[in-house]
Amino acid sequence: MGCLACEQVCPAKAIDHTDEVNGGKAVRTIYHYTDTCIFCGECEAACIAEHKGIKLSQEWDLAFFDRNKAFETIERELVRCELCGSVIGARKHILWIVQKIGELSFSNPTLYQTRLRELGLADDNPPVVGKDNARDDRIKILCAHCRRQTTLGG
Amino acid sequence: MKKTIIPIGPYHPLQEEPEFFMLTVEGETVTDVDVQLGYNHRGIEKLSESKTYDQSVFVVERICGICSTSHPFAFVRAVEDIAGIEVPMRAKYIRTIIAEGERMHSHLLWLGLAGHFLGYNTVYMWVWKLREEILDVMEIISGNRNNYAMFRPGGVRRDINPDDIPLVLKKIDKIIPTLKMLFKAVRDDPVLHARTKGVGVLTKEEAIDYSALGPTSRASGVARDVRKDTVYGAYHEMDWDMIVTQNGDVFDKVVVRVLEMFESIKILKYCFLHLPDGEIDANVKNIPPGEGIGAHEAPRGETFHYVRSDGGNGPVRHKVRAPTFMNLPTYKATVKGAKIADASIILAAIDPCYCCTERMAVQTTRGRRLFDGRELIRLSQQKTAALKRKLGIDQTMLEKLTQGRL
Amino acid sequence: MMKRNDLLSEIQSRFKEDIIELFDKSSHRVYLEIRPGAIIRVAAYIFKDLGARFNIASGIDTRSHIEILYHFTVEAIDLLISLRVKLDRKKPVIDSLTPVCEAANWIEREIFELLGVQFTGHPELKRLLLSDQWPEKVYPLRRDYKEWDKTAVRDRGTK
């Protein structure tokens, strides 16, 4: 899901991630180093995806000839701020939050806009009339910094 | 007298754990020993400061492979001591089961090694085969033969499936008759008596002055056992005895360990048969600022952990003290005046948490290196063979016991 | 063997000039802060007269001072007494406990090399754990410790 809960709890620091922005698309790559992993299961216990995310399998043959290749990756799409372009979080993670808090997500434009666009009910980056970084920008998907700026003004 | 020190070097292809002892010898008698440690220093105390409490449990488990439960147990007790957390009863029983299973496998391992040093290689193989039963039990319960990953501050991580218990009890019962025969053979074998009685004596005063722990101190008459002195786990729920003997020699240390195994079996069976229902975790959310101390009786003595917290996610200071740290200096007191051939068995009797006797070097006062670790073990084995010839014994009781029993 | 409260009031009356604070944490844990100069007196009383077992000493660098805790277990009443001494961070010196109790020998060597505390009167104050290549005056457990080894391999992770 890209929420990085597994990376936070791993005792051996065997999970790591990089965020890459290529023009319009932003992608998070999560690495799992099989040679550092101690197979303790803490990541599986912490995973918010409930048995559909990271989990321990029965696979036994994990030997590599080249230690630099001893890792596995997955990729997840990222949501970026529409004003400054910085990374907010993984798309699937934000949708999961919306699912979890239900109607309360209408208090935060980032959350409900992401959900509405997923459903095809809203446009990407709607144009505004007034100046930038101001009141009209408050309905966009924003990072925390831009959200503060547009709400408090100036 | 000029002494030349010839370094043997701690990295040897056959070595299991690196560390270095240097014996100073006059003729055949040892007069002094110098210990050099630190080849295995991994900086775990510093590492703990950058981890959370849950992560620290995993780091701490890997301090030792044989006594791998004792460190998490003591650490988790220290964290619970800071906040005054009460652990549910079922979790206490499960913790006791894991701890006693580990004690059994550690003592069996040690018995095999002692046999090897004395020249009974068949006993070595045979006792380790017996040990497989206990390792199977641990694998059924926790999924692994060594690092069990069952501890967490507030309780245990996984539950025991009640369907596994009858099979586990059957496996434990298989060990008992062989253990009884082994004890009888140890008690009555004249060659073993000649090799180990009166050898490497640690007096009661020395045991108190050096703060010796575990079987090393209980063999010298100092009755110390964290399981009896403190109330924790499920140890006060059933009857079992603390084994104390008075002479402090290698023979007593063997006897203490073998008898402790019988007590462990008693505790294990009681715990499996009377496992209470209930929660396995107290769901700890926050550790307030403060200090805590946790102790546990590992197979080698008392493991002591001190943790200081400032209310954050992880420990601010974590002090780890393994029991071998207090027991190793007693080697200085026990090996003085002994013969070279006995040096390896005296070291093995304190059950250091590593196979360090390979690392021993001998230096005479004239500065010539005579023997290294493997040769010392061979000397010890040759002494047993010579004793057998002198006493006119063709096969000792231990050898008869293991004949054709593989 | 005295009862717990009698034991604590006995210690408090015997060493009343040396004790700075007594923190009675629980029925099994007591933390006693004493003046550094009094460590031999108090520790000898606890070790010899009360027959306690010396457990270990743990050193810690709080940013304002260096603290050493000496832990003793009185087994008969299941009480753990921890003596706390606070030392000046710029020049941490204290008397060695080894002449009183041989068990303190190795741990004082360890605190010496990891925190930089000088123990006067120790029979053999030299390194125990760190290698001979480790530079002088670099104390790993101090809060201002910086990594000094440029040749160390750090190849884990994406960064």
Q: Which domains does chain C have, with CATH numbers?
A: 4-97 (3.30.460.80)
Most C CBs within 10 A among B208, B217, B225, hence the mutation to make, goes to B208
Contact C158 A33 (CB under 8 A): no
The complex's ipTM? Answer: 0.92
Please check whether the domain covering B35-402 is classified as CATH 3.40.50.10490.
no
Distance in Å, alpha carbon of B58 to nearest chain A alpha carbon: 7
Tell whether A31 lies on the interface with C, counting CB pairs under 8 A.
Answer: yes
pLDDT at B8 over 50: no
DSSP-based three-state secondary structure for B29: strand
Q: Which domains does chain A have, with CATH numbers?
A: 1-79 (3.30.70.3270), 81-154 (no CATH)
Report pLDDT digits (tens) over B212-271: 988 999 999 999 899 988 888 889 988 999 999 998 888 999 999 999 999 999 999 999
Report pLDDT digits (tens) over C103-138: 898 889 989 988 999 999 999 888 887 877 888 888
Beta-carbon contacts below 8 Å between A and C:
10
First to last CA, chain B: 53
Contacts of B51 in chain A (CB under 8 A): 11
| pLDDT confidence band for B405 (50 / 70 / 90) | low
Token pair 């652990």: residue: B87
pLDDT at B148 over 70: yes
Beta-carbon contacts below 8 Å between A and B:
21
| pLDDT confidence band for B344 (50 / 70 / 90) | confident
**Cβ-Cβ contacts under 8 Å for B340 (sequence gap 6 or more):** B23, B25, B28, B29, B30, B362, B370, B371, B376, B379
Which pLDDT does position B372 carry in this prediction? 64
Report pLDDT digits (tens) over B78-118: 999 999 999 999 999 999 999 999 999 999 988 888 888 88
Out of B51, B52, B58, the one facing A38 most closely (by C-beta) is B58
Tell whether A145 lies on the interface with C, counting CB pairs under 8 A.
Answer: no
Which pLDDT does position C155 carry in this prediction? 66
**What are the b/e assignments for B117-139, b being 16+ CB within 10 Å?**
bbbbebbbebbbebbebbbebbe
**What are the b/e assignments for B242-261, b being 16+ CB within 10 Å?**
ebbbebbbbbbbbbbbbbbb
pLDDT at B360 over 70: no
Look at residues B39, B307, B46 and name the one whose alpha carbon lies nearest to residue C71.
B307
Instruction: Compute the distance between CA of residue B122 and CA of residue B128 in angstroms, rounded to an integer.
Output: 10
Contacts of B208 in chain C (CB under 8 A): 53
Determine the length of chain C: 159
Global pTM value: 0.89
Contacts of C56 in chain B (CB under 8 A): 304, 306, 319, 321, 325-326
Determine the length of chain A: 154
Tell whether C143 lies on the interface with B, counting CB pairs under 8 A.
Answer: no
Contact A11 B149 (CB under 8 A): no
pLDDT at B352 over 80: no
Contact B38 C55 (CB under 8 A): no
Element containing residue B378 per DSSP (H, E): helix B373-391
Distance in Å, alpha carbon of A56 to nearest chain C alpha carbon: 21
CB under 8 Å, gap of 24 or more: what pairs does B387-395 form? B387/B191, B387/B194, B387/B195, B388/B191, B391/B190, B391/B191, B391/B194, B393/B190, B393/B191
Report pLDDT digits (tens) over C33-68: 999 998 999 999 999 888 889 999 999 998 899 999
First to last CA, chain C: 60
Which pLDDT does position B5 carry in this prediction? 40
What residue in C sits closest to B46 (Cα-Cα)? C141
| pLDDT confidence band for A113 (50 / 70 / 90) | confident
